Amino acid sequence: MPPIAVSDNDFETEVLKAKGPVMVDFWAEWCGPCKALMPVVEEVAAEMQGKVKIVKINIDENPEAPTKYGVRGIPTLMIFKDGQLVDTRVGGMPKSQLTQWIESAV
C-alpha cells in the first residue's frame, strides 16, 4: 500500500487520532532529497503494511502541520504513536536504516 497523502484538513484524523503508529513524511515537489527518498518510503510502506501507517504531506500545499511541529528542513520524517510525537529524523536515509528506525520507534 503506497503512503497516504494527507493535508492540514485531515492531519488530525489520519495521524493524531489513528490507532497505532504513524510515520509522516514531510516533503515538497521541488525537493531533490525528498524525491530520492520517495521510492524508499513507498517500499517500506508496502513491507510494513499492518505494522505502521505511512503518510506524506506536501509542506507547500499544507503549511499548518509542518509549522506546528517545527519542520525546518525536508525531508523530515516523524513517528507518532497514539497522537504523540515519538521521534523525528531529518534528511534521507537508506531503506535498511529507515526500517530499523521505524521498528525501534513502534
Pick one of 3.40.50.12280, 3.30.565.10, 3.40.30.10, 3.40.50.300 as the CATH number of 4-105: 3.40.30.10
In this model, does residue 15 exceed pLDDT 90?
yes
pLDDT band at 13 (very low <50, low <70, confident <90, very high): very high
CA 42, CA 31: separation in Å to the nearest integer?
A: 17
* Helix boundaries (H) for the chain: 11, 32-47, 64-68, 95-105
Please list the active-site residues.
Answer: 31, 34
Q: Is 69 left (phi over 0), alpha (psi -120 to 50) or beta?
A: alpha
In this prediction the pTM is 0.95
Domains of the chain by residue range = 4-105
CB 4 within 8 A of CB 53: yes
Strands 76-81 and 84-90: antiparallel
